[in-house]
Amino acid sequence: MRIPRVLAAGLLVLAAAACGSSAAAGGSGTLRVGVIGSAVGNKLTRAVGFLDERGELLPALKAAGVTRIKVATFQNGPDLNQALAGGSLDIGMYGDTPALIGRGQGLPTRLVSLNSVRLDAAIVARKNGGPASLKDLQGKVIGVQTGSYIHRYLLGALQQAGVKPKQIIHMYTPAIIAALEKGSIDAGGLVSADQAAEEAKGYRSIDVASRDHPGLLGTSVTVVTEKYLSGHKDIVKVWQQAETKASQVAKANWVGYTAYVAKTGGYAPQVTLKTTLKDQLPDEPFPADGLTLLDGTKTFLVQQKLVKKDYTLDSWLAPGAKA
């Protein structure tokens, strides 16, 4: 099973764009960070966002010369990759799959950390006679955000089940939910929060990564552009320390943290409490289980020929970062 050619073709633009001009922040002290899907606009997400909300992130980054953080929100990883390639971002925080694909297509990033691990996803079926198992997806139509870690999980689960769908359509989450309601797709790939929200409406999850395919759980990574790194060599160590502190603060203030996740994610509090887990926040930049998941995802993407030339995770690590 192949990832759609349109995605691979689009990502080839990254290598060309990366060779173009870049408006790096230089010595301005502004750090430009890209994140995925904040419901409240250009705001940091996850634990570092919570630390920033408390007014503790910027002081933690002062040692690297950062005096201001400018945040940009993207709908998915491939879009964030394009911004990194175009030079409008210094750091990206997003799913493992688009980050690995970007690096494999020549995007000049270096891996700073795994900021979240064991991220769950599920395949949710339409109502009214929809599929009841992975096997029932043979010859069916599935919607998913292509290029995301959810997409990687979907493809891996289908491959392991020996199932070939009729079509996998690139759709953002709101479109997937609308298509499930209309019955215009047979199933959709969703993150755990959206899965829980749809189950509350009576939809059925026919496969869940944590339950059925734990080896396909996702990770979220932090990367820095080589251009920014060349002028800010302390950013790796300082950012790693900030992320570790953020995880510690979030776990020590879980009620406040989950409220922040609910606000930035746009989900009901009960959904957030059910799907936000302490063990998803690592206590170190490169937890062993997260690296295993990350390397497995890279291997899969190489097999899919989306990453055309294999590379080691060590070669991707930012200087000063130790896996």
Closest CA to 194 of 39, 71, 50: 39
The answer to whether residue 142 scores a pLDDT higher than 50 is yes
Range in 10-19, 179-188, 305-314 the model is least confident about: 10-19
- Measured distance CA(301)–CA(190) in Å, rounded: 20
CA distances in angstroms from 112 to 14, 295, 296, listed in the order given: 20, 15, 18
Asked if 114 contacts 177 with a C-beta cutoff of 8 angstroms, the reply is no
Q: Annotate 111-164 with DSSP letters as a single string.
A: EEEEEEEEE-EEEEE-SSS---SGGGGTT-EEEE-TTSHHHHHHHHHHHHHT--
Q: For 280-312, what is each residue's pLDDT tens digit?
A: 999 999 999 999 999 999 999 999 888 988 999
Per-residue pLDDT band at 38 (split at 50, 70, 90): confident
Average pLDDT in the 118-145 region? 97
Residues of the chain with CATH 3.40.190.10: 5-119+218-314, 121-216
Vertex 124, ends 170 and 257: CA angle to 5°?
A: 90
User: What per-residue confidence (pLDDT) applies to 40?
Assistant: 82
Residue 191 pairs in a beta bridge with: 121
One-letter identity of residue 194 = D
Q: What percent of the chain has pLDDT over 70?
A: 92
- Measured distance CA(54)–CA(60) in Å, rounded: 12
- Measured distance CA(92)–CA(312) in Å, rounded: 20
- Measured distance CA(213)–CA(90) in Å, rounded: 34
At a CB cut-off of 8 Å and minimum separation 6, what does 195 contact?
Answer: 120, 121, 122, 124, 205, 208, 275
Asked if 3 contacts 151 with a C-beta cutoff of 8 angstroms, the reply is yes
Q: For 238-267, what is each residue's pLDDT tens digit?
A: 999 999 999 999 999 999 999 999 999 999
Q: Provide the token pair at 303.
A: 């097999």
First vs last Cα of the chain: how many Å apart?
31
Q: Provide the token pair at 279.
A: 């063990």
- Measured distance CA(306)–CA(157) in Å, rounded: 18
Asked if 245 contacts 237 with a C-beta cutoff of 8 angstroms, the reply is no
User: What per-residue confidence (pLDDT) applies to 321?
Assistant: 87
One-letter identity of residue 36 = I
Q: CATH homologous superfamily of domain 121-216?
A: Periplasmic binding protein-like II (3.40.190.10)
CATH architecture of the domain covering 5-119+218-314: 3-Layer(aba) Sandwich (3.40)
